[in-house]
Amino acid sequence: MPVPTRSWGVLIVLCGAIFLEGIDVAMLNVALPSIRADLGLSTGMLSGVVSAYVLGYGGFMLLGGRAADLLGRRRMFLLWLVVFLLFSGLGGFAEEGWVLLVARFVTGVAAAFMTPAGLSLITTNFPEGPQRNRALLIYAGTAAGGFALGLVIGGLLAALGWRWVFFAPVLLALAILVAAIPLIKDRGDRAEGSFDVAGAITVTGAMILLVYGVVRLEHPSDGPLLTMGAFAAGLALLALFVAVERRSASPLVRLGILRSGPLVRANVMAALLTASFFGFQFLVTLYLQELRGWSTVQTGLALLAAAADVVLAPTLTPWLVDRYGNAKVVLGGLLSGLLAYALFLGVGLDWTYAAMLPSMLLIGLMFAFVYGPLTIVATDGIAEHEQGLAGGLINSSFQFGAALGLSMVTAVNVAALGGATDAGAGLEAMRTALVVPVTATLLAAVIAVAGLRTRVRERALSTI
């Protein structure tokens, strides 16, 4: 059955939204030094500006996914796109650090509601099978491209003035909103059931505390008791959330959905994928700017090769998925990433860009072959009334993994540096921290192999 033209228009709009989220995060990271210089922010406040978005995004993602199912996907997407637009603009007008904190936290919350709503709009507009797979691969490639291209765009905008890093997303969000209102129709397919208030409060509190604990790992010597307390309180709330869901007539997260082995494996691999990528991206940025003296624009251009998935995800990946299946394509992508990070372990202060390029291209392959297929696996076979929940789960995993990867490489880098300031010590510390993305990708590959073996065993049993 051919997909209506309107559905492809909806896909373009939703790709614009996920691209917006990707460049928004990347652009801010490039502009941080300029913001600190202009507003006179302390290191702690500057770190808080980044963490505020992560807390809002990671903390409210599951709630956002279920809200899309219960309150309407179109309504949630449009409402929170407007919130995203307004608070991104507020950040551009900030004269005090606390205004930036509020703006980034609310922008993160808005993204937490927009993202699962957008993903579930795709899965409900395209029938399960090759057409949906292709749409999801295009969507995933656009998302990953936003992270990579955002560094280049952010470098150019920061050269004009850091406030443009906040104003540019406003203009893009406005264009998406104007296109989305007539294109996205309310299909009236909301799930039945009441809103699980107790579940929403406990899981949101748990996610915020756990993400906060992860963020605090970046500062291992700064109040370790507070970090452990955040993790303990987060885990306690998570246990309470499970107890609430077992007794709820309309649970926020139907615990039975977690009995799906492919879904659980996809979510764990998603967290490990973004942990490796964002950790690596952070270390390479430090290497190029602080150890090599490259500009923000040069750094962004150096990482541009990693955005090859923008082309590969909608072209090569669908063919590979149709021919070999998601599991084998994901494993191939993870092995590409593992090789990329392993090659970079030998980095030196005199490396040319030609020596770095193989790693960048292999990372592009990894994202093209892993990000989209994992999204397909995490939503495949899920009932339509739970597509928002499935989208919230996989995006929570992506976001939590990104926060964990950044925090782990920072903690290892700081510990290995030990207060030294010379370039040689900085290089050795970076090499030590590169073990984090290598380990994360290796673990993901092991899980992918285990998933393949399980599939082979299940097929063998089904033929008996």
pLDDT interval class at 140 (50, 70, 90): confident
Whole-prediction pTM value? Answer: 0.84
Of the residues 153, 185, 217, which one is the last residue of a structural domain? 185
Query: Is residue 191 domain-resident?
Result: no
Question: Model confidence over 240-265: pLDDT tens digits?
Answer: 988 988 888 777 777 787 888 888 99
Radius of gyration of the chain (CA): 21
pLDDT interval class at 460 (50, 70, 90): low
With helix as H, strand as E and coil as C, how does the chain read? CCCCHHHHHHHHHHHHHHHHHHHHHHHHHHHHHHHHHHHCCCHHHHHHHHHHHHHHHHHHHHHHHHHHHHHCHHHHHHHHHHHHHHHHHHHHCCCCHHHHHHHHHHHHHHHHHHHHHHHHHHHHHCCCCHHHHHHHHHHHHHHHHHHHHHHHHHHHHHHHCCCHHHHHHHHHHHHHHHHHHHHCCCCCCCCCCCCCHHHHHHHHHHHHHHHHHHHHCCCCCCCHHHHHHHHHHHHHHHHHHHHHHHHCCCCCCCHHHHHCHHHHHHHHHHHHHHHHHHHHHHHHHHHHHHHCCCCHHHHHHHHHHHHHHHHHHHHHHHHHHHHHCHHHHHHHHHHHHHHHHHHHCCCCCCCCHHHHHHHHHHHHHHHHHHHHHHHHHHHCCCCHHHHHHHHHHHHHHHHHHHHHHHHHHHHHHHHHHCCCCCHHHHHHHHHHHCHHHHHHHHHHHHHHHHHHHHHHHHHHHHCC
Same domain as 431, residue 392: yes
| Number of structural domains in the chain | 3
Same domain as 247, residue 260: no
Best-predicted range by mean pLDDT (274-288, 376-390, 396-410, 431-445): 431-445
Same domain as 213, residue 181: no
Question: Model confidence over 175-184: pLDDT tens digits?
Answer: 999 999 998 8
Of the residues 139, 154, 185, which one is the last residue of a structural domain? 185
Same domain as 96, residue 176: yes
Same domain as 232, residue 278: no
* CA atoms within 13 Å, Cβ hemisphere of 367: 30
Give the per-residue pLDDT at 187: 66
Range of the domain at 349: 256-463
pLDDT cut 70: percent of the chain above it: 93
Same domain as 342, residue 277: yes
| CATH (domain of 388) | 1.20.1250.20
Same domain as 150, residue 241: no
Same domain as 158, residue 121: yes
Query: Is residue 46 over pLDDT 90?
Result: no
Query: Is residue 41 domain-resident?
Result: yes
Question: Model confidence over 185-230: pLDDT tens digits?
Answer: 866 556 566 667 788 788 888 878 887 787 777 666 666 788 889 8
Query: Is residue 192 domain-resident?
Result: no
Query: Is residue 190 domain-resident?
Result: no
Query: Is residue 457 domain-resident?
Result: yes
Same domain as 208, residue 176: no
Of the residues 143, 162, 185, which one is the last residue of a structural domain? 185
Same domain as 208, residue 181: no
Same domain as 214, residue 94: no
pLDDT interval class at 81 (50, 70, 90): very high
Same domain as 288, residue 233: no
